[in-house]
Structure 1
């Protein structure tokens, strides 16, 4: 097995514009086994080692990395969470549980989360159709060793009824600061809910969209095919990107001072702050990301900005050390000052439409 740190290091910031990344998760349970909501500690351990034996037979994961969270320091599990390789449910869970990460760090399989298995693939940009081919292949390979709980009437059976059916959650992370600044996101979110689509924060269910980073995903799985879900999410995200482009251009034409002021203030804060929280830093980096998209900073700036968005998160800042919130805020400010030294200050001479 590959070293966990080496495997995680393969995750690179994508530097995409409005579409940051796409992700598909599949919830699966083993046929004839008690679900996680009612299983005993002994049963959970048996499930864990049964899944471990099967997954390690697959070359994609045998050459990757493996983490037993029951034996892993909390700092390491939090880093995995911040890298989106595991969920908060798995990180905060108890008993036998773990994650298997592919050699390219683009796929992971969580064991004993809410369901026996949570299979995940993630890549930069809008690419749900390509991801479905990859995760479907992984899913089929696992099923050769681990028969799934499946109903000919309902589809895949899951611990939470909302996942029953395909067991799929398809999502796209989008940067929608133009719509947020135009106060349109509340109306859009309500409209999406009526369509069975949810817009959450970047940390998933229950999280706020700090920095206008929104995760757009399906709420319904029962009664839909995987292709239906993917096509629906893709079409909605393409339309949202059009709305975002229009909102940016409208600000540029009708209220450029407010746009420039937000970007300039963000730069000034990052350049001079002595202490700064995760949320404030994310808001400022989001503004610079918008500046890069719209041509006020070099386009390649997004790569460093995305990399910095990860570096400033609590576990990445701590690097295995015990830091108080104040110490983290001080260190975060220093990391940000160092990062923007490698960026060119925004210049507002050009008003060309960029996206």
Structure 2
């Protein structure tokens, strides 16, 4: 629907530039069945999940893509039949035709692009990890609160979606009673140390910030089950202390590749969690126990196999396999949820910025504990 008026140009001239995002948003709101999306960053997750996810939704046009170089932008546009390429992310945000952006850059750019996108009146789907640190995360949250009519979503941790509802139902039904401890070891994709391994952006604090391996996304999943932690203590090490950059020279890396975290939850109960990318010959890549006063739940994944859920309570000699009902089986529907939220059909649950800020605060608390050797209380002051 187009608004026509002989006085429209005169009126717009009188409007402050600061009001233009609101005007654009207002005018686009008449036609949310047709949503134009701009891609900023087109890495592995964007190409394997977000682009196919958007393409499945009726009324969505992937209008523009801006990757790290013109060449890579053109390659992505050609591969996925995207209409246009943009010189950089600012060009995408300044394009009045674009309603929403999907941010798939490294974490160091998530905060500035998200805030700028919201200020330009764009809905935002931002890749996890949310930001470099909790300070940036809070800035993103504040910016979203200034734009309550815009949708802002962080890509959720996908590893446990299939089981989350079932686990939460067991806990709500008092199956395990009061939580005593969550005890977990995650070594997904880990192997014995390779001292000639390449430097990845995840090993560089300038790009990754306080994020450590896949620690944050597992904590996000844990929060879905038992809520946030209120204390953290951590020890960690960089077993592979140097990695090879593009020219083959050795570069020191300070982000841990093996970490042990203990803490307590707001709801009660303790946590002991190990995350590692440098241990080998383990039978299970994921092994998490929820142990309570009445029962135990176990989520486990053997190497090369699918995750399985087991549970047992008082009187059971062994844990029995839990078959997840189809209606309770969660799945990846990030792009669908994002677009539905823009169209007013549902609210963001996976993951809203308030929740993402909590895992960023926990991430910062882990980093602070590593630095100081002290237990850190949450939420951060």
TM over 0.5, yes or no? no
Higher helix share: 1
TM superposition score normalised by structure 2: 0.28
TM superposition score normalised by structure 1: 0.29
Larger radius of gyration: 2
